[in-house]
Chains A and B, each alone.
Chain A
Amino acid sequence: MNCQETQTLIHGYLDGELDLVNSLKVEEHLQDCRSCSQEQANHQTLRDALRGGGLYFQPPASLRKRVLSNVEQASRHSAAPRAPRWSWSWLGAAAVLVRQVVITWGLTRSMARPPAGDLVAQEVVASHVRSLMPDHLTDVTSSSQHTVKPWFAGKLNFSPQVVDLASDGFPLIGGRLDYLDNQPVAALVYGRQQHLINLFIWPSTSAATTQTEVRQGYQLVHWTQSGMNYWVVSDMNAAELEVFVQLIQKQAGS
């Protein structure tokens, strides 16, 4: 591989988007070429700066209100197409309703957020995202709990419960060793149509009830049960993920 090819492919390499063969070729070239490895270092510095925070624009709090009120108005229109386009008295009522919704939403959100688990939640999302990159998903690929569970033996000092939920529409895809909250943890991967779910399990010294939150567009659910921490993360919608969580909780409690 020459420098010119490398200078484009190095981006796929950095982004975890290259296949194994090309990744190896890029690595080989980087070992021999000072100028390309300097490029790589530059790209990494740039990425760290871009992701270092401070560049993400947060919407003003009022935007959500306005969007909700627009949507409210639009659905009124589709229900009664002949209704006047603009009605102040109705807008007033909508504003009250919207404020109520926003307050409730804000309250449940602030109550649901575990301050201590914040860092772990961040790690869980990062690990989920990393697992979606090519060849990062599983260390042991099997839909059989009898293959996956023994695989963890000797790699962890605890034994996670492994169940296949294929009959409930969540087939087990495999398992992976991961590292969260400063310790090795079991990561189980389940599928649901085109979605993936990561379930992380490790021993817990405290007790926590089920908590949910949304982070970077991913749904997170966390609880403790039978002395274990459970974290579930997926891009699936909240309702479907709830079904999955209940199935796992039922199995873990049995």
Chain B
Amino acid sequence: MEQSSRAQFEQTVLVHLGAAYNLARWLTRDDRDAEDVVQEACLRAFRFFDGYRGGNSRAWLLTIVRHTCYTWLRANRAKDLIAFDETLDSADPGAGPEELVLHSVDQQALRNALEELPVEFREVIILRELEEMSYKEIAAIAGIPLGTVMSRLARARKRLEHSLTQPATVEA
């Protein structure tokens, strides 16, 4: 019985270890810390595994990983979490929006820009673009309403585009 629940845990949950690590790595921004968080999260997942009633196991594991990340951030990087304002950047100048044209994106610049996003924005981008999750799944994982998923994605993308079009290096 115990043996079989462990095997089942491996089959249904640990197949998503890559997704778990990727999310933890982006949220903690550190290799070692991400490994610690993932180990902790997997242990929690195993303890709660009896309560898992089937369904989307990747979303289930990522919910636990995200929660573990936030606990870790609160203890170790409290400044990453303070002062997140949902209305940030919400006032959009309706008239004459800047015509920033993104022709191509430098991968290193993109990586930096993503790391600099507030964690609440960063996570929706990771879940949407790297994990290709639906709004419904993201809403469940992050514990926010569907509409908030869309508005956070909107702001996160605008911020990324803005930092990518800043003339960090002058092009000829």
Question: In the complex, which range does the number of interface residues on chain B fall in?
Answer: 35 or more
- A8-B151, A129-B132 given; A46·B22 CB < 8 A: no
Minimum CB–CB distance for A213 against chain B, Å: 10
B-facing residues in A36-89 (Cβ within 8 Å): 38-39, 41-43, 45-52, 54-60, 63-64, 66-68, 70-72, 74-75, 78-79
- A38-B101, A43-B161, A70-B39 given; A217·B19 CB < 8 A: yes
Task: Tell which of B12, B21, B134, B135 touches A57, judged by Cβ atoms closer than 8 Å.
Answer: B21
In the docked arrangement, what's the CA distance between A66 and B2, Å?
19
B-facing residues in A209-228 (Cβ within 8 Å): 214, 216-217
Which residue, of B18, B34, B99, B151, has the highest number of chain A Cβ atoms within 10 A? B18
The segment from A9-17, A113-121, A154-162, A179-187 that touches chain B is A9-17
A112 within 8 A of B: no
A7 within 8 A of B: yes
| Residues on B with beta carbons closer than 8 Å to the beta carbon of A64 | 14, 17
Contact status A42-B110, CB under 8 Å? no
Minimum CB–CB distance for A72 against chain B, Å: 7
In the docked arrangement, what's the CA distance between A70 and B35, Å?
13
Contact status B135-A71, CB under 8 Å? no
In the docked arrangement, what's the CA distance between A84 and B14, Å?
27
Residue interface mask B34-54, A partner, CB < 8 A = 1:
110011001100110000001
Contact status A52-B55, CB under 8 Å? no
Contact status A45-B17, CB under 8 Å? no
B105 within 8 A of A: yes
Known: A42-B161, A49-B105, A59-B18. 8 other contacts (CB 8 A): A4-B94, A51-B129, A55-B110, A58-B21, A59-B22, A60-B31, A63-B38, A74-B47
